[in-house]
Amino acid sequence: MDHQEPSVRHFDHCPWLFAAEATEEQRLAQRKRQRAIGGDVEIGERCYVAESAAVFPDRLRLGAGSYIAAHAYVTGELAAGADCTLNPFTTVRGAVSLGDGVRIGAHTSLLGFNHSMDPDRPVHRQPLTSRGIKVGDDVWIGSHVVVVDGVTLGDHCVIGAGAVVTKDLPAWTVAAGNPARPIRDRRDTAPAPAGGTDLSRIADTARAQAPDLLARCWDGERYVDRPGAAPTVRAHCDAVEIADLLLGAAPGQLTTDEHSGRLAALQDPATGLVPEFGASLPDDGFPSEGAALYHVLCVGYALNLLGVALPHPVRGVQHMTASQLVARLDELPWRDNAWGAGAWIDAWATAAHGNLRRPHGGGTQPGALEALFGWLLTRADPWTGMWGVPSPGAGRLQVVNGYYRLTRGSFAQFGLPVPHPERVVDAVLDHARDTRYFGAGQENACNVLDVAHPLWLCTRQLGTGSGAAGYRTAEIRAWAERQLALALPRWRDGRGFGFGPGTAGPGPEPGLQGTEMWLAIIWLLADLLGRSDELGYHPRGIHRPEAARRGAEDQRHPEQGPRL
């Protein structure tokens, strides 16, 4: 056999040549090699198992035309379809299933098992667990990749060299990085958007500059949106949101307890509302408009981030009966101010949610929440999935922006499905083509957020999020890519994001409100593209994408002292 040694080594490292170039003697030797594996083994035609490969399976299935190359290490249960390749120095252990046409690069590991790591004993004495790895058809896994136990890779995926895959990836995903993140859809032949490095860079920049940005907006006593502006309640809440998002802590100008104490002290015990600095509260139990409505949202969520609850329930919501609520809903300005109507529902539902999650009670009147959602479900326009009507002067602006506010506080916050999600996507994408609001230089944070969140909410409900194929996915992704490309350059070093043009909001100058909103918008846009992991942050406050928890286990009252 000495005269065949070079050829055997050659085939071990280049097994794809074996079927065409091997001599009959070499083919006999290969069949002997395959029989020597022993155990529960089924190997198809035109397969090759390298002499130098360490193949000790409990169960092995190789489809026709598959091979295991030099120095591969295979144990456990491997089921591979036709035309699969385990290139030199690959490791496949545990329970691993490969479809047809799977290419695995050199030095890659598929580890379909894991150790426990309970603290009661050394790791080497811990029991093994195995959920297995499943790989679909037509998948290319590059060199030096690690795929951990429990992961499923959909059909047609491509995994870049050096990636560490810790989560499932849907079909057609191109992914890379540690941990692996989706880069694009393989079917999209257009160049990838200004890549993950841009997202990582803006997040790292914002994180590094956040302390100075917050200090810039502290006037020595209170927070202002930007230098020269008057202190506002919202500015303090925006500061808390930004610090939590980027730093995972309270703003450094005060201690956590000082922040929560100041914000909690702003609440009026008699009404449960928070007025603006120097302003009085309206006479009615729950106002129709004004800063006190938004403060229900921003103060409540800021306190949640600080680990406490509002000290008092919102009385106007607590005492409003179902019939009174329906009467108020009927009276809202749906025809000429759908945004205002949506903002009122956002505040009412958020107050109800806050009342329900209070450690010591509060809640709502019997049937009030059922009346809210019943009214909304029966009044939604089945052609748009929305409430209100467009106008010649403003187009869909009021309707779409009102939809965001309404669903944010009600359906999204309570974790309930919205009605007619496909029609909502249609209406929102139609609005997003309106150049009055989305033309060159016209985008502001409010208008972009009020498109991004409904698209995010509906795609998740339809099961088409994070790059999965589905209802108008290509259009949604194209819009998100464009808005993301426009948003990232808006950052101003040391000052953050400006809100943007238009009569609403604080204007184009960088400040706390613009920074808080654009950071949340960027996350939503990135998540629509399946790339939000690249940012390294996730909104938890007023712009959190998921439903808010109703339990009070993570909260305390200011008078209860710091958490341990």
Render pLDDT for 111-135 as a digit per residue (tens, 0 to 9). 998 877 777 888 787 777 789 999 9
Q: What is the pLDDT of residues 327-375, one digit of tens each?
A: 999 999 999 999 999 999 999 999 999 999 876 667 899 999 999 999 9
Sequence-distant (6+) residues with CB within 8 A of 447 are: 397, 401, 437, 438, 500, 502
Cα 203 from Cα 209, distance rounded (Å): 10
The pLDDT of residue 268 is above 80: yes
- DSSP code per residue over 304-359: HHTTB--SS--HHHHS--HHHHHHHHHHS-TTT-HHHHHHHHHHHHHHHHHHHT-T
On whether the CB atoms of residues 225 and 241 are closer than 8 A, the answer is no
Tokens 């712009």 correspond to what residue?
A: 543
Torsion angle of the four alpha carbons 379, 380, 382, 385, in this order, in degrees rounded to the nearest 10: 180
pLDDT tens-digit profile of 300-309?
Answer: 999 999 999 9
Alpha-carbon distance values, 262 to 240, 255, 311, 322 (Å): 12, 11, 12, 34
pLDDT digits (tens, 9 = 90+) for 221-257: 999 999 999 999 999 999 999 999 999 999 999 999 9
> What pLDDT score does 561 carry?
33
Q: What pLDDT, on the 0 to 100 scale, is given for residue 358?
A: 75
In the three-class reduction of DSSP (H, G, I as helix; E, B as strand; rest coil), residue 222 is classed as coil
Residues 33 and 28: their CA atoms lie apart, in Å, by 9
Q: In this structure, are residues 483 and 443 in contact, taking their beta carbons and an 8 Å threshold?
A: yes
Sign of the CA dihedral with 538 first, then 543, 547, and 552 last: positive
Question: Tell me, what's the pLDDT at 359?
Answer: 66
More confident residue, 401 or 116: 401
* Inter-residue contact 232 to 277 (CB < 8 Å): yes
What angle, 0 to 180 degrees and rounded to 10, lies between the N-to-C axes of helices 196-216 and 233-247?
140
pLDDT of res. 471: 87
Residue 1 has pLDDT above 60, yes or no: no
Res 550: pLDDT:
56
Segment among 52-61, 186-195, 206-215, 534-543 with least mean pLDDT: 186-195
Tokens of 333: 């300005």
| From 115, 236, 259, 420, the catalytic residue | 115
pLDDT in the model for residue 253: 97
**If we measure between CA atoms, which residue out of 310, 306, 404, 413 comes closest to residue 355?**
310
Do the Cβ atoms of 48 and 22 come closer than 8 Å? no
More confident residue, 338 or 554: 338
- Predicted confidence at residue 90, as pLDDT, reads 96
Query: Taking phi first (over 0 means left), then psi (-120 to 50 degrees means alpha), and beta for anything else, what does residue 561 get?
Result: left
Contact predicate 384/427, CB 8 Å: yes
Global confidence as pTM: 0.65
Q: Report the C-alpha gap between 310 and 318 in whole angstroms.
A: 14
pLDDT tens-place string over residues 424-435: 999 999 999 998
Catalytic status, residue 115: yes
Peptide bond into 179 cis (omega under 30): yes
* Nearest-5° Cα angle at 8, 5 to 13: 130
Angular region, 39: left φ>0, alpha ψ -120 to 50, beta rest: left
* H helix count then E strand count, the chain: 18, 19
Q: What is the DSSP letter of 374?
A: H
